Amino acid sequence: MSLSRRHAAASLAAVPLALAATGTAATGTAQARSGGRGRPRAEVTVYLAGDSTAATKAASAAPETGWGMALPFFLADRLRVANHAVNGRSSKSFYDEGRLATILTAIRPGDFLFIQFGHNDEKTDDPARGTDPATTYPQYLRLYVSGARDRGARPVLLTSVERRKFDAAGTARPTHGAYPDAVRSLARAEGVPLIDVQASSIALWQRLGPEGTKGCFNWLDPGESPNYPDGKQDNTHFQPHGAIEVARLVARELKAKGVLAPSDVRRLDEAIPDSWITW
């Protein structure tokens, strides 16, 4: 598939007004400082484009938690998180639905655009979402990168957070095929900072092991949650603890790679209570 400039322009122009408020979660501290009159010049917004692993969840899904809900815990108050990640989206469907256009309408010079897809791009039997890691996946991701750069914002590419999968020997196994390497190659080619969440998360799951990781993912016993009366065994989505730990991985790498200043990253060594997550 070829993504022409005309295709990009047409999609960005056709933004339903109703999408303008979709999927946006901001920190209360940042909102309070702005006083509703526009944010202070020193404040920076971190826009997050992604899928259900990062998305803000409804109360009806609790305790399922996206790691984007926990990211503000690790960032300084001047960094406002606008979480536009949405369940079930791929780099293609997020773009085709005008959700990237919504972000690019709001983003300002100096802001960040964090880009993490892959889980639903892998669904190649679905023409609305599937992409090819060698061709269309990087083509779509380039639209996010160029869109941010054209507006003076700073794109950051993230590999897909890893699922919970272990072999019989208790070794954590990768599940994303060629998609993470496609992101790594694109980051090198475009000179974009890379946060390799796939690598850091699979290393964390290995340390925790098959049983320890159940407390990170949305594994629930029958009766444990009113939203899942029959229980749940979800190896893709997180409970609060898992979302917090993935957000910690992201924040640690943002600091280590110099994407954010040390003063903009906090609590890396603190235990964050699960109760801090709210729906």
H, E, C per residue of 121-150: CCCCCCCCCCCCCCCHHHHHHHHHHHHHHH
Handedness of CA 35, 55, 118, 88 (dihedral sign): negative
Q: What is the pLDDT of residue 107?
A: 98
Per-residue exposure over 106-145, b if at least 16 CB sit within 10 Å of its own CB, e if not:
ebeeebbbbbbbbbbbbeeeeeebbbebeebbbbbbbbbb
**What rounded mean pLDDT belongs to the chain?**
89
At the top level of CATH, which class does the domain 5-261 belong to?
Answer: alpha beta
pLDDT at residue 205, as a whole number: 98
The residue ranges of every structural domain in the chain are: 5-261
Question: Mean pLDDT for each 10-residue chunk of the chain (279 residues)?
Answer: 38 34 37 40 90 98 98 98 98 98 98 98 98 98 98 98 98 98 98 98 98 98 97 98 98 98 97 96
Cis amide linkage into residue 63, ω under 30° from 0:
yes
pLDDT at 20: 35
Which residue in 273, 259, 244 sits closest to 71, CA to CA? 244
For position 32, what pLDDT does the model report? 31
Please tell me the predicted confidence (pLDDT) of residue 34: 37
What is the reported pTM? Answer: 0.86
